[in-house]
Structure 1
Amino acid sequence: MKRFLFYITTKSYGAYLNLLCFIAPKKATLIAYSLFSQPRKGKLDATNLPPFLAEAEKETFEKNGQNFQTYIWKGDEKIIFLIHGWESNTARWKKLIPHLLETGHTIIAIDAPAHGLSEGKEFNVFQYASYIDIVSKKYAPKYIIGHSIGGKTSLYYQATYQNPSIEKMVLLGAPADFKVIFENYIKLLSLNSRMVQLLHQHYWDYFQIKVEQFSAQHFTPNITAKGFIIHDVEDKIVLYKEGEKITNHWKASVLETTKGLGHSLQNKDVYKKIVDFLSDSN
């Protein structure tokens, strides 16, 4: 029943936008972009945080009038950044963090725009990357671990900001091409060609980037850090071929294939391989 209601709702939104784009194109574009960029879940309640987050040291930063939240587990001078994905928050790292603490390194996790305890209603990779840059200027990370769109953001960040302190990056179930996510949204709402054209123009007008160019193919050649790509062959959210694409374009990366873990990749063997990768001196 829930699936049926979701289907009816999404197709109704699509039909409305397909009509509106001919009558009021600007309004239709803003609504379509809003539906695409505003997470429906992933927020945290500051008064009822999971214990491991409540006990962490916290630091708030600001970007364009909006505060965003970080959590810190102090260790040595080597710093690991954790970058979560869409409709998630720092709580997703609960099982990995104890393994990372065994390295003795400092861990800093960032709540994405409009997620966790970070303010805002809109999520986009460009803003998320700017958050990483702000925190990086205070705490120079040596390692970055990103899950899903957080992995995509990590790629974009390093390719764009060229942070020399970063030596290794771990991407978990990350998409290679933003176009795949974009086209899935188009298909979900059954948007017409006029509406699609307007959305493409919106990305160019506001972010100066073409959707098809927002790809690992264009980012990874600029990244010299070593990459460890972990992707599950049964991932139904971000298909396995996306992990293969990233690895094919990123010469300094290797692909670790799993089976049966899905998109979350929450598994002790995965955690151990991440720690081993970060600890390897080669």
Structure 2
Amino acid sequence: MSTVIRSIDMLAPALAAGLTYPAYLGLGPRRPVHEREQATHDAARRESIIVAGRRVVVYEWGAGERTVLVVHGWRGRAAQFAAVVRELRSEGYRVIGFDAPASGDSPGRRTHVGEFRAVIDALARREGGFHAIVTHSAGTLAVAAAVADAGITSRIVAIAPILRVGYLSEQFARMAGLGGSAMRLQEAWFAGRLRRRGYVLDGRYDLLGGALSPGLSVTIVHDRGDQMADIAESRRLAKQNPAQVALIETEGSGHSRVLESDAALDAVLEVVRREIPPTARVPRATRAQRVGRTRDAGARADLSPAR
């Protein structure tokens, strides 16, 4: 199919862009819960919340005083962090995750990283910030934007991260057989669609385009053979920000299994255990603030982000 689109693109980029635009918007099949993740997935306390009109399933494990948020990537789900959750629970941390709209067990057909970010914002308001955030792939974009605006944590572990929102369009164009003109048309159409809904995917969704938030520490775990996220961009971010970014490279774990690698689990534990100056700490919600939240799967809360 990409060969046909490539031929069309050479003659009529706008037609090629229009023909592939539905796929550009789509997510594809939902990722199932794998057998090795099932027990952790089933052990979670669950609730449903409403964020910007979308129903989102939220998961919670453990009961520690320090809370870690996990944020999945495109076509992902919270269960992918099963190994991370088990390690953090054993260390006494409380872990929160969610299935973004149209992902995992959350309903819908389409989503975008702006909606990921809206969920993060809503949970951060409820929790009063996070001890740390562990993110995967394109989830890193939403985390970066939320942290840049609200300073909801001072420590991030980014596993196989995508660091520029434009990278998603570039990757789709390569797979679909589109040239630069068609890609830019799709980006413009999509940006207009999001603006009408109150979202702007601006420079806050680009970690390579500017300075990181002061006091923010980022640990990256990235496999050299990752076919979905370019490790060269992680190397570039680490080179640009040597005082704030540490890069750990792995071999043989790929884009998704790296979440279960010893390197990733060790990095998460090192980061959450690390002491930071009191001035850099994010205030946590008190237990009284958290008490009384409904846990059952049918509960709904209006946590729509302020516009």
- What's the TM-score once normalised by structure 1's chain length? 0.81
Q: Could you say which residue in structure 1 is the equivalent of 2:187? A: 200
Q: Measured at CA, do residues 220 and 84 of structure 1 come closer, stay the same or move farther in structure 2, by a change above 3 Å? A: farther
Cα distance in structure 2, aligned partners of 1:147 and 1:226: 16
1:281 aligned to 2:278? no
Check the 8 A contact 2:5/2:178 in 1, yes or no.
no
Give 1:101 deviation, angstroms: 0.7
Identify which range, 198-207 or 116-125, moves more after superposition. 198-207
Q: Could you say which residue in structure 2 is the equivalent of 1:3? A: none
Check the 8 A contact 1:81/1:145 in 2, yes or no.
yes
Counterpart of 2:131, as a letter, is K
Check the 8 A contact 2:113/2:142 in 1, yes or no.
yes
Counterpart of 1:21, as a letter, is A
Q: Measured at CA, do residues 52 and 114 of structure 1 come closer, stay the same or move farther in structure 2, by a change above 3 Å? A: same
For structure 1, list consecutive stretches of 5 or more residues without a partner in the other structure: 1-7
Q: Could you say which residue in structure 2 is the equivalent of 1:226? A: 217
- Three-state SS of the structure 1 residue aligned to 2:222 is strand
- Three-state SS of the structure 1 residue aligned to 2:65 is strand
- Three-state SS of the structure 2 residue aligned to 1:217 is coil
Q: 1:41 aligns with which of 12, 25, 29?
A: 29
For structure 2, list consecutive stretches of 5 or more residues without a partner in the other structure: 277-307
Give 1:59 deviation, angstroms: 1.6
Give 1:248 deviation, angstroms: 3.0
Q: Could you say which residue in structure 1 is the equivalent of 2:97? A: 109
Identify which range, 249-258 or 52-61, moves more after superposition. 249-258
Check the 8 A contact 1:203/1:210 in 2, yes or no.
no
Counterpart of 2:215, as a letter, is T
Deviations along 1:33-88, whole A, 9 cap, x unmatched? 4312322123558xxx9332222111211123220011001322211000011222
Q: Alignment identity in percent?
A: 17
Cα distance in structure 2, aligned partners of 1:252 and 1:194: 36
Q: Measured at CA, do residues 197 and 234 of structure 1 come closer, stay the same or move farther in structure 2, by a change above 3 Å? A: closer
Q: Measured at CA, do residues 258 and 39 of structure 1 come closer, stay the same or move farther in structure 2, by a change above 3 Å? A: same
1:188 aligned to 2:175? yes
Give me the CA root mean square deviation.
Answer: 2.8
Q: Could you say which residue in structure 2 is the equivalent of 1:253? A: 245
Cα distance in structure 1, aligned partners of 2:172 and 2:112: 15
Q: Measured at CA, do residues 197 and 94 of structure 1 come closer, stay the same or move farther in structure 2, by a change above 3 Å? A: closer
Cα distance in structure 2, aligned partners of 1:271 and 1:84: 16
- What's the TM-score once normalised by structure 2's chain length? 0.75
Work out which structure has the larger RCO, using CA pairs closer than 8 Å and 6 or more positions apart in sequence: 2
Aligned pairs, number: 264
Q: 2:146 aligns with which of 122, 132, 157?
A: 157
Check the 8 A contact 1:167/1:225 in 2, yes or no.
yes
Q: Measured at CA, do residues 219 and 104 of structure 1 come closer, stay the same or move farther in structure 2, by a change above 3 Å? A: farther
Q: Measured at CA, do residues 149 and 210 of structure 1 come closer, stay the same or move farther in structure 2, by a change above 3 Å? A: closer
Deviations along 1:102-138, whole A, 9 cap, x unmatched? 2211100111221111122112111111111111111
Give 1:15 deviation, angstroms: 6.2
Q: 1:66 aligns with which of 51, 54, 61?
A: 54
Q: Could you say which residue in structure 2 is the equivalent of 1:21? A: 14
Deviations along 1:148-169, whole A, 9 cap, x unmatched? 111232122212x323x41211
